[in-house]
Every structure is written in structure tokens, then in C-alpha cells.
A and B are shown apart, each in its own frame.
Chain A
């Protein structure tokens, strides 16, 4: 399995600011994803981070709000821009492994005040 780390593990930010979350994988992987888990809710896919090209966003998520970088096969960042309290969530990155499995990072708990 893949070992995934995220930084920061948690942060408290003021509205209107931006936060960049890093995701590091211990092996090269083709597919990386970013999910959001709002308080008490399930996980929702934000986007697929593609190496060497722009991220592919799901309905309801836009690049201006959640810019993503994927400079190589082991690393990705997600920026939450111009934050509001509604952005308070856990943000998780994940990778596919093997043919069907997907593993998740420990998550970044973001609180916007």
C-alpha cells in the first residue's frame, strides 16, 4: 500500500485568506485526488490532480477557488482560496493503488473564522 502524508494536519485561518495543503506519497502514483469532508458529512470529490496537465474538477468546484498543482508523480497541493467559514472542512488527498484500491492521507482539518 501507499503511505500518504499531508501538511498541515490542521489550521485555523481568517476569512479572506488562502491556505495551501500539501500531499506527499512515498511511491510514484498515476492518479491523485482531493476530497472534502464537511463537518458531520460524507466525502465529496473536489478534483483529480493530473501530472503535467490541469486538474479535472467535479461539478460545483472551480479552479479559481481550489487551484491544484501536480508537479510530479509523488506530490500535489490544493489551495483553498479566499476562504469563508463554509470552507471549514477536512481536506483529504488520495491515490489509486493497484487495479482497484484507493488510499487516503490523514487529512487536513481547516477551520475558518
Chain B
């Protein structure tokens, strides 16, 4: 079945450091890929998405590229801030053949806790 694997956390970085959180997936069909973020005490927010191979999603300085050849969707940010401290979830959603519609069912990775120290 479909699955998502994220690098183990927690990840602790100093402010302005470079961030990479690895995410790989296993899927049949044509998945869309997402990164969600959960700030302390808050709900889940969509951070970025990519819906087909070679797409790059970006938002708030974060980027991730959909790599079909390596089945990966690694999250990167060039310079993290204390306010980026949160739990990050990689997720996939299976699309219909040809990508014309989305089943809506999300499969999540286990989450990676990021702590940024000043």
C-alpha cells in the first residue's frame, strides 16, 4: 500500500541554519505530495504542495521538489527562524489516473519535530 517515511526527529538547529527534512514515499498511481506544519498548540496547516513530477512547491521560504525518480519530496529552507519551530508532516494523496481528480485521502508520515534555537 501507499506510505510515507520521514526522517526521525527531533531536529535541533540554530537560527539561520539550513534545514532539510527528508521525505520518501511509496505509491501506486499519481500521488500529489504535501508538507503540513503543526505549530505548538495549533491545528494542521498546509505549507506547500506539488501535484506532479518535477513540480516545486514553495511557501514562506520553504521549498520541496517532487522527485519521481527517487520517490522523494524533501523539505528545505535556507535560513530557519525560531518561529519555524513546529512539527512538520509529509503527506501524499492519491490522484485518479491522469491526475484529473483527488481522492482526498491523505497518508501522513510520522512527523518531524523541528526546534530552532536563537
| Of the residues A42, A43, A96, A106, contact of B104 by C-beta under 8 Å | A96
Q: Are B43 and A105 in contact (CB under 8 A)?
A: yes
Residues of chain B within 8 A (CB-CB) of A44 are 108
Q: Are B101 and A92 in contact (CB under 8 A)?
A: no
* Interface segment, one of B16-24, B44-52, B68-76: B44-52
| Of the residues A41, A42, A106, contact of B43 by C-beta under 8 Å | A106
Q: How many residues of B contact A (CB 8 A)?
A: 23
Q: Does A31 contact B (CB under 8 A)?
A: yes
Answer whether A42 and B105 are a contact pair too, CB < 8 Å, given A100-B51, A106-B42.
no
Residues of chain A within 8 A (CB-CB) of B101 are 99
Q: Are A33 and B46 in contact (CB under 8 A)?
A: no
Q: Does A64 contact B (CB under 8 A)?
A: no
Q: Are B93 and A100 in contact (CB under 8 A)?
A: yes
Q: Are A100 and B111 in contact (CB under 8 A)?
A: no
- Whole-angstrom distance from the CB of B97 to the nearest CB of chain A? 15
A18 to B44, CA, bound (A): 25
Q: Are B44 and A42 in contact (CB under 8 A)?
A: no
Q: Does A112 contact B (CB under 8 A)?
A: no
Q: Does A77 contact B (CB under 8 A)?
A: no
A 35-56 binary contact with B (CB < 8 Å = 1; else 0): 1000001111100100000000
- Whole-angstrom distance from the CB of B107 to the nearest CB of chain A? 8
Answer whether A92 and B111 are a contact pair too, CB < 8 Å, given A45-B106, A102-B93.
no
CB-CB nearest 4 A-B residue pairs: A106-B43, A104-B44, A96-B104, A31-B104
**Can you give 15 A-B contacts (C-beta < 8 A)?**
A42-B89, A42-B109, A43-B89, A43-B106, A92-B44, A96-B104, A99-B102, A100-B51, A100-B93, A101-B46, A101-B49, A102-B93, A102-B106, A104-B36, A106-B42
